[in-house]
Amino acid sequence: MLERVFIRFGINKKLRELKALRDWKEVVGEKIEKHTYPLRVRMGNLFIVVDNSGWLAQITYFKKKIISELNQKQGKEVIKDIYLRLGKVKPRNTRGPAKNWRIREIKLEEWELREIENKLNKIEDGTLRQILNRILVKDKKLKKTHLKKE
């Protein structure tokens, strides 16, 4: 039952994408990870910020191997391609919680909240409905933060 709900709302796919982001460091190693920052996965494309052109060239060379290893960890093709761009890579101590703090500050429009409610109105279990609501609201806010950055 729960798995069908996750599939229906695309949550399974989103969870695999988030896991691929978390697996980045393990797959590429600490040395490359220090010079990169995985931004997001959109439609099977992993977007990575790289701090200099030397590392960008190096990662481009190993792109197919990285994609293969990320997908192997998922047991399914989650990542189809990797897009690299030069940019500033945040120091380790500024990653994580600060991003979540910004997400809490983003407000959704009434129509966006109604849209989420309409998706969940057939779910009878109140606890499950609340959990899924939090997931979908956070996902919508994350998408808004990415749109603002671009």
pLDDT for 59 equals 93
Domain that holds residue 121: 96-150
* CATH assignment at residue 8: 3.30.300.180
Same domain (yes/no): 106, 77: no
In degrees and rounded to multiples of 5, residue 122 shows phi and psi of -85, -5
Give the model confidence (pLDDT) of 90-114 as tens digits.
766 544 444 555 677 788 889 999 9
When pLDDT is cut at 50, 70 and 90, the band that residue 66 belongs to is very high
Identify the residue with better confidence: 2 or 131.
131
Instruction: Say if CB 88 and CB 51 are below 8 A apart.
Output: yes
Q: Which of 71, 90, 109 is the last residue of a domain?
A: 90
Same domain (yes/no): 42, 20: yes
C-alpha distance across the termini of the chain, in Å? 38
Give the model confidence (pLDDT) of 20-46 as tens digits.
888 999 999 989 999 999 988 988 999
What does pTM read for this prediction?
A: 0.61
Report the domain count for the chain: 2
